[in-house]
Amino acid sequence: MPSDNCRLRAGWHGGQPAEWRVSAGLVPYAEAVAFMQARVAAIAAGEAPELVWLLEHPPLYTAGTSARSSDLLEPRFPVVKSGRGGQLTYHGPGQRVIYVMLDLNRRTPDLRAFVCGLEGWIIAALARLGVEARRRKGLIGVWVPRPEKPHGPGGELAHDKIAAIGIRVRHWVSFHGAALNVMPDLSHYSGIVPCGISASHLGITSLRELGVKASMGEVDEALRRTFECIF
């Protein structure tokens, strides 16, 4: 669970609980971004409730505001510039994309606390699925320790990232969010340096690679059951 400084003040937008939406099939990235932008404007205007949107995208690479062209090794899939924070990452089938549109004015208008809260939420959801995950100092995202893999410099324990986080805020309403690897094709990450991290003892993993046979629906249920503990 997150430390105290990661907690966000609880709050419903206009007295309404956050809406949850799960999309079947693969949602085109541009379509998702256009929808989020419109929903964020409506939330900021008090015309719509907050929203947590769970979906999957067709295979693509997205470049955040800190992306470096040198981290694109092989453009195996379309590369789309994204307004979210962060660097290059991959989206594709088998990955649960979690778009979180929350009014931080009614919670805690603190970006660091919000990112920390997203990490804590995913860590708590993974714990329900039997996976020990954690944060890593100086690196955004959610990581799984891999003691069986070669250690890093100075004997540092190997870790694999299982969830990436990249957000944007407009009028203190958040959008974009997180991407949790459930059962994607991990070879698709080979076309980029994911999140700009190239250290040999830091990699990418998924629930499937870890031997966890949770369905996408079971992952969604774990996310729903742990959401209010954080937000």
**Of residues 6, 116, 195, 229, which has the active-site annotation?**
195
Q: Say if residues 60 and 24 touch (Cβ distance below 8 Å).
A: no
Residue located via tokens 């694999």: 160
**Residues listed for the chain:** 231
154 φ, ψ (degrees, to nearest 5) = 70, 20
Residue 230 has, within 13 A of its CA and on its CB side, a CA count of 24
User: Residue 120's Cα: distance from chain center in Å?
Assistant: 11
User: Residue 67's Cα: distance from chain center in Å?
Assistant: 17
Whether 6 is a known active-site residue: answer no
Cite the active site residues.
195
